[in-house]
Structure 1
């Protein structure tokens, strides 16, 4: 039986990876603080990765170790404590590691950001680069996965799902959208990614992303799925910026909208992922699942990304006056 250790295993993505390994018949151990349960069939060992002796209970041989941490110090410590006991190591990184986002179609050989010199966990890209370096020290038994924007039901970032909620809650009223001209959207379904990460036969480095789609096409899919019958009102970039609407994420933002000089972030090569058997759920199917999830969670709930409907209505009123 394959012995698998998931560093985490109780979160949105890592829990799905653990579930895939359980379903494959592996003996799965999840190492986490224990604030959430591990998937049925997996064993949960509670521990805190800030503890110097965190890995003492994991002192055994593992066929596979999976880590998704965004803290380089956690990854270095895990590699130091467990690397000699791991037959294969999967690390889920991010396409955020790339230094240049102004080139469409860039692949895994593109230039990386400088690695983090300290432990500032908010320096996400630099932390991921430093973590990758720690994992690569294990040699040719490593698979580094660089996903793009991860989407699907239960997404804690609220970014992709914002547009499902925005069109569904508006009904026959207008929806504020950014200028989608020349922009693309490229995402990876969380279940496609989990399946790809639950594979101890792969080594090397791969971007894990779907195909890029025109931004206006993606908005159209959300609008059609939600049955929205109102207008879409386009706001120019400079107008949105002058009204304190943020791109990409966070409060008072329009998710998926990126500055034009970052167009390559949503248009990277996925050839290596596809050739390694990575699945790409059709975007229309992802949109349908996300819409169902947003309706179940509440269209008007507080969100980590997007505009509250009252803020959107105020902006629309000014734009249309």
Structure 2
């Protein structure tokens, strides 16, 4: 199979290109040349998708195209260039209008499409609406298409640094010396029973290649089964070989202490305040699993992310600093530390 990967240098698109080559496919990656590198065996074309595709590239036939773009004009231009290929578009669960009750593909109400390109630095809320427009362009213009809507994609190479916060925190537990006895006291967010969903980038990439090979048609929430966050964090600790003393602080108290949810500076990653965000992390995984998605244990992902952090000093990690975490714990009124939650 000849596969065109629009991207191919960073995280998910790079993993897709790597797995496709490993399967013996001929892979061409089109990217801007601004970050990352393509995997060995991938032919690369440096091109800015704001411009028309070079005639020699647009004239090449491809059996499948994988696109991770969030920019509607880029997707429309690419679909017009290769309408006969099977398309796999990586969309997002952010297309759902109601984060409390998303419903799922074919059921959940979507946000209104934004067909014009929007600078997300000026309007971050346009992300979901632009992805809806990208989905429409693929369904309307391609011979056949699969749309996958991931939630939180994690694993080695993640540029967001969200999930990596927790293996990095376990690393501090493992590396703590006698001068830092409090390092094992780890701030944990909300209620241990709150459910979360993550999917390893490598599992998603393999499935995307499978979908392209079989020209599967449909729309899927690309998620692993939801688990309690207490269980997920215990799995992370076990995968990293750490024995933290979890100190759980409820969401209202975290908010009052200026801790941000989900991701970014001064955040406790993966935490989402309840009620209000339950639907963001309770998407049904069964349709994707029945369509061939296979997910690995969180312990394995955590161990591999820890190895990546140790090997790459520039690996992205976002969230509370050690000083911020200590300050929050001191002011939180958290219970005395206990055994790791399970």
Kindly indicate whether residue 242 of structure 2 is the aligned counterpart of residue 245 of structure 1.
no
User: What runs of 5+ residues in structure 1 fail to find an aligned partner?
Assistant: none
Contact in 1 for aligned 2:192/2:231 (Cα 8 Å): no
2:161 to 125, 141, 158: 158
Kindly indicate whether residue 192 of structure 2 is the aligned counterpart of residue 176 of structure 1.
no
Could you tell me how far 1:282 is from its partner in structure 2?
1.6
1:280 to 292, 295, 305: 295
TM-score of the superposition, structure 2-length normalised?
A: 0.85
SS at match of 2:66: strand
Tell me how far apart the structure 2 counterparts of residues 26 and 226 of structure 1 sit (CA, whole Å): 35
1:319 to 332, 336, 339: 332
Could you tell me how far 1:291 is from its partner in structure 2?
2.4
Could you tell me how far 1:112 is from its partner in structure 2?
1.1
User: Quick one: structure 1 residues 121 and 182, their matched pair in 2 at CA, closer, same or farther if it must change by over 3 Å?
Assistant: farther
Tell me how far apart the structure 2 counterparts of residues 63 and 216 of structure 1 sit (CA, whole Å): 43
Could you tell me how far 1:223 is from its partner in structure 2?
2.9
SS at match of 1:160: coil
Contact in 1 for aligned 2:191/2:250 (Cα 8 Å): no
Tell me how far apart the structure 2 counterparts of residues 149 and 133 of structure 1 sit (CA, whole Å): 22
User: Quick one: structure 1 residues 246 and 284, their matched pair in 2 at CA, closer, same or farther if it must change by over 3 Å?
Assistant: same
Equivalent residue for 2:77? 77
Tell me how far apart the structure 1 counterparts of residues 316 and 304 of structure 2 sit (CA, whole Å): 18
SS at match of 2:141: coil
Kindly indicate whether residue 49 of structure 2 is the aligned counterpart of residue 29 of structure 1.
no
SS at match of 1:137: helix
User: What runs of 5+ residues in structure 2 fail to find an aligned partner?
Assistant: 121-125, 335-342
Tell me how far apart the structure 1 counterparts of residues 310 and 39 of structure 2 sit (CA, whole Å): 25
Tell me how far apart the structure 2 counterparts of residues 37 and 289 of structure 1 sit (CA, whole Å): 20
Deviation string, structure 1 residues 253-272 (Cα, Å, up to 9, x no partner): 01110121111111111122
Deviation string, structure 1 residues 146-188 (Cα, Å, up to 9, x no partner): 1121011111111111111123214452111111244111111
1:218 to 215, 232, 235: 232
- RMSD of the TM alignment (CA)? 2.1
TM-score of the superposition, structure 1-length normalised?
A: 0.91
The alignment covers a number of residue pairs equal to 314
Tell me how far apart the structure 2 counterparts of residues 82 and 8 of structure 1 sit (CA, whole Å): 16
